[in-house]
C-alpha cells in the first residue's frame, strides 16, 4: 500500500496562488474606515439594495467594514471581541502624512488624540436622526493643571497637622 500524502497548507511553489491566499481576508485599513466615519457614515448604513452583497447590503458595520446577512447577525457581531477590538483601535487618531513628517524631524512631536467611540446605531435609530458619534476625549495631565507650589505645600501642611482635642 502506498504512503499517505501530506496535505500542504500553503502553495509554496505557486506564488500566484500564494498571493491569492494572503489577501483573501483583507479588510479596509483603519485610516480608510476613519475617513468613512467622518464623511459618509449615514450613507453606508442606509445603502441601496445590492443583490451581490450579503444581506443585500442592508446590514453593514461601518467600524469593521463588513456586511451581515441579517440584523440579528449584526447585533451579535456588536457583542464580539473582534468588533470591540476594532472600536478600541479606532479610538486613536489614524497615522497621517503630517505625523510622518514630524517623525522625520520636520516639526515638533504631538501626542495622538484619543477619541470616544460608540457602536453604530441601528437602522431605525438612523432613520429617526441619530448619527455615529466621534468625539475627542479631553485628558487632564499634571502639566495641564497649573497650581502654585506654595499653595500645594500649604494644603499638605494643613492636612497632615494633628488637630487639638479639647477636654
Q: For strands 115-117 and 134-136, give the pairing.
A: antiparallel
What percent of the chain has a predicted confidence (pLDDT) above 70? 71
Q: State the pLDDT at residue 122.
A: 82
Q: State the pLDDT at residue 53.
A: 93
Tens digit of pLDDT for each residue in 100-150? 898 888 888 888 888 888 888 888 888 888 888 777 776 655 544 444 444
Q: What is d(CA 62, CA 45) in angstroms, rounded to the nearest whole number?
A: 7
φ and ψ of 92, to 5 deg: -85, 135
Task: Single out the residue of 80, 66, 87, 74 nearest to residue 122, CA to CA.
Answer: 74
Q: Which three cell numbers stand for residue 92?
A: 486613536
Contact 59, 69 (CB under 8 A): yes
Return the percent helix, strand and coil in the chain, to nearest 5: 40, 5, 50
Tens digit of pLDDT for each residue in 77-93? 999 999 999 999 999 98
Amino acid at each position: 500500500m502506498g504512503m499517505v500524502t501530506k496535505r500542504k497548507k500553503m502553495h509554496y511553489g505557486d506564488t500566484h496562488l500564494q498571493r491569492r491566499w494572503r489577501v483573501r481576508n483583507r479588510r479596509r485599513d483603519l485610516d480608510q474606515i476613519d475617513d468613512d466615519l467622518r464623511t459618509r457614515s449615514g450613507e453606508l448604513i442606509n445603502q441601496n439594495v445590492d443583490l451581490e452583497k450579503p444581506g443585500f447590503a442592508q446590514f453593514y458595520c461601518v467600524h469593521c467594514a463588513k456586511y451581515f446577512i441579517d440584523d440579528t447577525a449584526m447585533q451579535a457581531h456588536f457583542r464580539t471581541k473582534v468588533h470591540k477590538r476594532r472600536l478600541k483601535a479606532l479610538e486613536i487618531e489614524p497615522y497621517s502624512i503630517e505625523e510622518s513628517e514630524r517623525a522625520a524631524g520636520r516639526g515638533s512631536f504631538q501626542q495622538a488624540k484619543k477619541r470616544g467611540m460608540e457602536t453604530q446605531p441601528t437602522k431605525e435609530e438612523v432613520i429617526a436622526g441619530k448619527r455615529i458619534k466621534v468625539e475627542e476625549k479631553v485628558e487632564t495631565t499634571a502639566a495641564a493643571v497649573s497650581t502654585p507650589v506654595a499653595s500645594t505645600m500649604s494644603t499638605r501642611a494643613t492636612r497632615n497637622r494633628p488637630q487639638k482635642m479639647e477636654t
